[in-house]
Chains A and B, each alone.
Chain A
Amino acid sequence: MGGGNFSPGFASILRRAIQAEARIVEPSDSILVQRWKSGDRQAFTLLFRRYQNGVFAFCARMLRDSAAAEDAAQETFLKAHQAIASLADGNAFRSWLFRIARNEVLMALRNHRTSALESAESVWSDDDPHRRAISEEQRTILQTVLDQLKAEYREAIVLREFQQLTYAEIAAATNSTESAVKSRIFKARTALASRIRTQFQ
């Protein structure tokens, strides 16, 4: 008897639940890239908001300077906007974006005389770790030892641990191979762990 009353109510609950679900599920990178390519400004804004912290954090951890990181992040998004038509696979957006960010970082490092990509032997960077403007409360022992890593090790471990990129994505972003990425991450971890150990002793 109550079935007639129940089912429209249930249907509306269901409809509302589905609508709520639709609101929660965010469009994938590749869908947004598609919309962005066809001139949808909102799609660009959504992707910008999705990745601005990641790109900024990557630049900041690489450059150790908030202002330089903001400049690099801005250039990254502007260049991405100019070049989006050249991105064939929207699923590769993340690694493509970090590749642009990395180029900006390397350019900034080069301009700062301190290219940390020189001598191949050591894991540690030769440049001065005191030139940095990231605020003190954001600094930890980890960040301090991270700062001492050479750029090629730092970028790999930062993209892995803070941005959760896969080895394949890191290889694409850093113009490298998966096995090189695997080895760099391993060496970076070994070096970080040992330095953290000595800092505590």
Chain B
Amino acid sequence: MTCETSRELLSALFDSELGHDDQSELFAHLGHCPACRDAFGELLALRSTFCSTEQLTAPASLERRVMTQLRRQESASILVTLRQWLMARFTVPAPVAVAAVLLLILGTLLLRPAARNGNGYVYVPVLPEVEVVSSPVINTPTHP
């Protein structure tokens, strides 16, 4: 292992991001490389410098600003939602909605297996025959 590789692994070791195989290789290298052991000491010193550096804290005004802005956005978006809701309710013509529901029912019925007659399903061709078809299924259970 080169010293360059060893230093990079050393850095990863400090972040608990080093796999077992790499670790044992690294320790083997450190065992016979004083320069990399010095580098280890230097990383240790750097880490403690980071730890002793004061954490920056957000000013109290940040929460106030964010919450105020959110309330403003929310009251605006409530109005938009309300308008969309009203428009969806009162601008979709009723016949369109009714037609959509009918189409859905029709589609389900057309694909519904009505009765078995040996060579597969008999499909209900049109809506008016729905009532006729549902009873033969029950009345002809022994039909071959």
Partner of B53, one of A142, A160, A189, A190: A142
Interface string of B35-74 (1 = CB under 8 A from A): 0000000110111011001111111011101110110010
Q: Does A124 contact B (CB under 8 A)?
A: no
Q: CB-CB < 8 A to A143: which residues of B? A: 53
Q: CB-CB < 8 A to B47: which residues of A? A: 161
Decide if A196 touches B49 in the complex (CB within 8 Å): yes
Q: CB-CB < 8 A to B67: which residues of A? A: 45
Partner of B58, one of A53, A162, A183: A53
Decide if B8 touches A78 in the complex (CB within 8 Å): no
- Interface hit among A14-22, A54-62, A92-100: A54-62
Decide if A193 touches B43 in the complex (CB within 8 Å): yes
Q: CB-CB < 8 A to A68: which residues of B? A: none
Interface string of A173-201 (1 = CB under 8 A from B): 00000000011011001101100110000
Instruction: Count B interface residues, CB 8 Å.
Output: 29
Q: Does B12 contact A (CB under 8 A)?
A: yes
Sorting the interface of chain A by its residue count into under 10, 10 to 19, 20 to 34 or 35 or more gives 35 or more
Decide if A78 touches B69 in the complex (CB within 8 Å): yes
Bound together, the chains give a CA A67 to CA B31 distance in angstroms of 49
Q: Does A81 contact B (CB under 8 A)?
A: yes
Bound together, the chains give a CA A200 to CA B61 distance in angstroms of 37
Q: Does A115 contact B (CB under 8 A)?
A: no
- Interface hit among A4-12, A69-77, A104-112, A125-133: A69-77
Q: Which residue of A lies closest to B54 (CB)?
A: A138
Decide if B58 touches A166 in the complex (CB within 8 Å): no
Partner of A56, one of B7, B11, B15, B58: B58
Number of cross-chain contacts by CB at 8 Å: 91
A77-B66, A78-B70, A186-B8 as given contacts; A138 in contact with B56, CB under 8 Å: yes
Q: Does B25 contact A (CB under 8 A)?
A: no
Q: Does A140 contact B (CB under 8 A)?
A: yes
Min CB–CB distance B49 → chain A (angstroms): 5
**B45, B53, B56: residue with the most chain A Cβ atoms closer than 10 Å:** B56
Q: Which residue of A lies closest to B58 (CB)?
A: A56
Decide if A73 touches B58 in the complex (CB within 8 Å): yes
**B11, B55, B65: residue with the most chain A Cβ atoms closer than 10 Å:** B11
Decide if A185 touches B62 in the complex (CB within 8 Å): no
Decide if B70 touches A57 in the complex (CB within 8 Å): no
Return 13 A-B CB contacts under 8 Å, by A number.
A44-B70, A56-B57, A56-B59, A74-B65, A74-B66, A78-B70, A82-B73, A140-B53, A142-B50, A166-B15, A166-B17, A186-B11, A193-B46
